[in-house]
Amino acid sequence: MQSCKNAIEELVIAEIDLQISHLPQYRRDQINLSEVAAYALNRLPPMYATSKAGWLRQRKKAATEMRSQIESAVRRALVSVKPDALRDSRPLPSQEVASHARSLAALQQLLGAENASWKDIPTALENALMTVKLKSAVSNTYIITGRRESRDETAISSKTPEISWKGRQVKTFVNSSQDEQKARDFQTYMVDVNYQFSNVLEKLVLSLAYHQIQKLHPAIAETVDLGEATAYVLNRLPPMYATSEKGYKSLRLRAREVYGKEVVAVLKEAIAVCVEAPNLEKVPLPLARFEAELEESLEQVSWILQRDDINWRNAPFIVEECLHRVVNNEMEWRKRSDYNYPYSS
C-alpha cells in the first residue's frame, strides 16, 4: 500500500538476514523467508505511518524499545516454520503483492540495471536499445563479410544470431549526506521485493475507509486523509500476514467475521480524529519521493517506445515486448538526446 507502510517490516527482514547469516547455504535454501517474516510480523504490534514525522517516530520506537521483541519473534519463527511438502504452495493473488517497488525490481532485472531507481530506468532502457542497435550492426556486418569470404554459403548459418540487450550499466553516485539518506530510503523502498507476504487487513480497511469517507458531507470529507484513517485502524488491530492463496482467503474470511464490526467502529473513531485535528501540513513518507520519480520515468519510457498504454503494472511486460521487437527489427524507438527531450541525466 502506497499511502501508509508498516515501519516494523524492514526491521524484521533485517533481523531475519542477521539470524540466518551464520547458517550454511544449504540450510538457508531450505527456509521459506516469506513464511518466517509473516510468522514474526503476526506476533508483533503493527507500526503503520503515513508521514515523514510518523515514520521516523515509529522507526525509532521499533529500533529501540522493541529490539528484543523483534529478535525473539524472528528466533521463534525460524524454529517454528518448517519445510512442508504438503503445505499449500500456491502464491498470493497477484494484486496482493503487486507494488511499484516490485515493478521496478522487474525492470532492473530485465534491463540488467542493478540498483537503478525509477529515475534511472529511461537511461537504462536507452542503453539496452543502443546495445541492441550496435550488436545488430556488428552481427549484420559479420554475416555479410562471412558470406563474401565463404565459397560455400551453406557454411553460414541462416539462423539470426541471438542478441542480448544487456550492456552498459547505469551508474549511480552518492556524493552527499542527502544522497546517502536517499540511498537508505531507497533500500527501505525495495526491502521486501523478494518476499511474498501481505497483511490482508490493509486493502480491506482501505476499501472500508474509502466508502465511509464517501458518505460524509464533501466539506467534511476533504479534511479526512484516507491514509491517516487507514493507518489509525491498522495500528489498532492484530496484523494478519499471509504468504499463500489459501492463507490469504482464510485470513480474509476471518477478518470479516471476527473483526468486521470492530473495524467499522475503529474507523468511525479514526474519521472523527481526522476531522477534529486534520494534519494539514503533513510531510509525506520519505518513500514518496520515489513515487514522483515513477510518474516522470514512465512518461519518458512511453515517449522513448512511442507507447501510450504504459503504467507501473504493465511496464515490465511492455518493455520486454518492445525489446524483443527491436531485436527483430519490428519497431522504431526514439532517443531523448536526438529530439532535445527535456530530462535530467
One-character DSSP codes across 278-310: --TTPPBPTTHHHHHHHHHHHHHHHHHHT-S--
Residue pLDDT, tens place only, 216-262:
999 999 889 999 999 999 999 999 999 999 999 999 999 989 888 89
pLDDT at 11: 95
- pLDDT grade for 168, boundaries at 50, 70 and 90: low
Residue pLDDT, tens place only, 188-220:
999 999 999 999 999 999 999 999 999 999 999
Segment 297-324 shows an average pLDDT of 96
pLDDT at 157: 47
Nearest to 115 by CA among 125, 104, 126: 104
Q: For residues 120 and 169, is the Cβ–Cβ distance under 8 A?
A: no
- DSSP class of residue 237 equals S
pLDDT at 179: 81
CA distance 20 to 200: 27
Q: For residues 304 and 130, is the Cβ–Cβ distance under 8 A?
A: no
Does position 302 have pLDDT exceeding 90, yes or no? yes
pLDDT at 156: 44
Q: For residues 7 and 48, is the Cβ–Cβ distance under 8 A?
A: yes
pLDDT at 31: 92
Q: How far is CA 60 from the centre of its chain?
A: 23
Does position 173 have pLDDT exceeding 60, yes or no? no
Residue pLDDT, tens place only, 5-46:
999 999 999 999 999 999 999 999 999 999 999 999 999 999
Fill in the amino acid letter for 36: V
pLDDT at 260: 86
At 310, give phi and psi (nearest 5°). Answer: -90, 130
Fill in the amino acid letter for 246: K
What does the buried/exposed string (b/e) look like for 210-241 if buried means 16 or more CB atoms within 10 Å of the residue's CB?
eebbeeeeeeeeebbbbbbbbbbbbbbbebbb
Segment 117-144 shows an average pLDDT of 82
- pLDDT grade for 287, boundaries at 50, 70 and 90: confident
- pLDDT grade for 292, boundaries at 50, 70 and 90: confident
Q: For residues 242 and 248, is the Cβ–Cβ distance under 8 A?
A: yes
Segment 88-112 shows an average pLDDT of 90
Q: What is the largest CA-CA distance in the chain?
A: 87
35 Cβ neighbours under 8 A, 6+ residues apart = 77, 81, 197, 243
pTM: 0.84
CA distance 12 to 70: 6
- DSSP class of residue 23 equals S
Segment 79-96 shows an average pLDDT of 80
Radius of gyration of the chain, Cα coordinates, nearest whole angstrom: 25
- Residue 156, Cβ neighbours under 10 Å: how many? 14
HSE-CB at 277 with a 13 A cutoff on CA atoms is 4
HSE-CB at 142 with a 13 A cutoff on CA atoms is 11
Does position 151 have pLDDT exceeding 70, yes or no? no
Torsion sign, CA atoms 39, 43, 44, 49: positive
- Residue 201, Cβ neighbours under 10 Å: how many? 22
Choice between 89 and 158, residue whose per-residue pLDDT is larger: 89
Nearest to 186 by CA among 107, 115, 103, 102: 115
pLDDT at 286: 86
Does position 177 have pLDDT exceeding 70, yes or no? no
